Amino acid sequence: MPRIDVVIDIESHICPCCGEQLHKIGETVKEAFDVIPMQYRVKRIVRPRYGCRGCRQGVLQAPAPAQAIDGGMVTEALLAHIAVMKYGY
């Protein structure tokens, strides 16, 4: 299935402890099934993780967006599509 990436990043790439530039050390990827009417795809939510090489105090990452179903792999669009297909027709 085709995939689209939605990147949710932090506002500043400057370390709050020492003021040095943050460097990307990884990322968290959450995949969810999505639908465009009669076209299915996988929507990837990518949240890069950053760490400071200067002070090595911690890791910064943007918070995860709210999900329609906790721990689920579907978007609101797919849930609406399922509901309409089941109860609307």
Nearest to 67 by CA among 57, 58, 79, 55: 79
Q: Is the pLDDT of residue 54 over 90?
A: no
Q: Give Cβ neighbours of residue 5 (< 8 Å, ≥ 6 apart).
A: 44, 46
Confidence (pTM): 0.58
Q: Tokens 């959450």 identify what position? A: 30
Among candidate residues 86, 12, 87, 83, the one with its CA nearest the CA of residue 52: 12
> Which amino acid is it at 62?
A
pLDDT digits (tens, 9 = 90+) for 4-43: 899 999 999 999 888 889 999 999 999 999 887 777 888 8
Q: How far apart are CA 62 and CA 85, in angstroms?
A: 35
Going by pLDDT thresholds of 50, 70 and 90, the confidence category of residue 68 is confident
